[in-house]
Amino acid sequence: MTILHLSDEVASALADARPVVALESTIISHGLPRPRNLEAAREFEAILRDQGVTPATIAVLDGVAHVGLDDEGVRRIAEEDLAKASVRDLPILAARAASGATTVAATAHLAAKAGIRVFATGGLGGVHRGASETFDESADLSTLAVTPITVVSAGVKSVLDIAATLERLETYSVPVVGLGTTIFPSFWLRESDFTLDWAVDSPEQVADVMAAHDALGHTQGIVVANPIPAEKAWQRDEHDRVLATAFAEAEAQGIRGKAVTPFLLGRIVELSDGRSLEVNLDLARNNVTVAGRIATAWAARAA
């Protein structure tokens, strides 16, 4: 039984040391509404192809972890009701011939296993607010502690506990570098209340960090915090107002535990009249573009 399947395109790009970027499927299945999600999945791949980079969208379909999807696979992750799959779900999906959309954690794990070094997402999962009582912390963080892949994200949403998320990444010895900034971005906004120790100025400098990381024998992931371009960012006052309203509604309606984040994210799209969704798409495109450049810089060293 095949458990891990690389598309021909991805396998040949890796064999020739050409640039490849991994893309996750949870953002498509669960993070974006239909039918925009299918357009987005195709567009992210097209952005990479236009740069001469091979896209490797990752998902588990009928028990097989696919690294690189064909048109039908992309359609399935956008249109089917797939389970959200983190790393711990992978063996269960495989053994039961089931399907799942992979989170950052599961995508990073499978991509690294396939030999891919660069991955683009929207926002990382992190430590949830109230985690000191609920223990709700994304396996994205613990997976990056043990998975050698560079993840380009626009930081984490301020619906999470950003301070605790950054502390956790420090504990796990995961390097976090800002691209052109030492201000940690918060997804829809270029900024948050938190700063980083290190900025890098170019995709080549990220490749320098990756090379040094390898030379030192480090096997963690690397987080590249890539703020959305200023002209595309959400207005801070509207962002703050919408988030405050969404949190107040969750509180008033007694939403608890795992239901909190989906509730907040749904309300944020509604309360912003779809504006937050446009910003979400723009920051994801920007991350895919930057990841393509990092993969290109990385591949140039191997050549």
The residues binding ligand PSU (CB under 6 A) are: 24, 26-27, 30-31, 86, 103-105, 122-123, 125, 138-140, 157, 187
Give φ, ψ of 225 to 5 degrees: -90, 115
Q: With binding defined as CB under 5 A, does residue 140 bind Mn ion?
A: no
Q: Was 64 annotated as part of a binding site?
A: no
Residue whose CB is less far from ligand PSU, 13 or 77: 77
Choose among ligand PSU, Mn ion, none what residue 31 binds, the Cβ cut-off being 5 to 8 Å by kind. ligand PSU
Q: With binding defined as CB under 5 A, does residue 24 bind Mn ion?
A: no
Q: Was 186 annotated as part of a binding site?
A: no
Residue whose CB is less far from ligand PSU, 86 or 286: 86
Catalytic residue among 79, 80, 157, 278: 157
Q: Was 62 annotated as part of a binding site?
A: no
Mark whether 232 is an active-site residue.
Answer: no
262 upstream amide cis, omega within 30 of 0: no
Residue that the structure tokens 């290190």 belong to? 198
Cα–Cα distance measured from residue 61 to residue 112, given in angstroms and rounded to the nearest whole number: 19
Helices (H), ranges, 218-259: 236-252
Q: With binding defined as CB under 5 A, does residue 136 bind Mn ion?
A: yes
Sequence-distant (≥ 6) Cβ neighbours of residue 247 within 8 angstroms: 264
- What is the nearest approach in angstroms of ligand PSU to the Cβ of residue 71? 22
For residues 123 and 153, the answer to whether their CB atoms sit within 8 Å is: yes
Strand-pairing partners, residue 64, are: 61
Cα–Cα distance measured from residue 215 to residue 212, given in angstroms and rounded to the nearest whole number: 5
Q: With binding defined as CB under 5 A, does residue 89 bind Mn ion?
A: no
Residue whose CB is less far from ligand PSU, 52 or 257: 257
Length of the chain: 303
Binding-site residues from annotation for Mn(2+) = 136
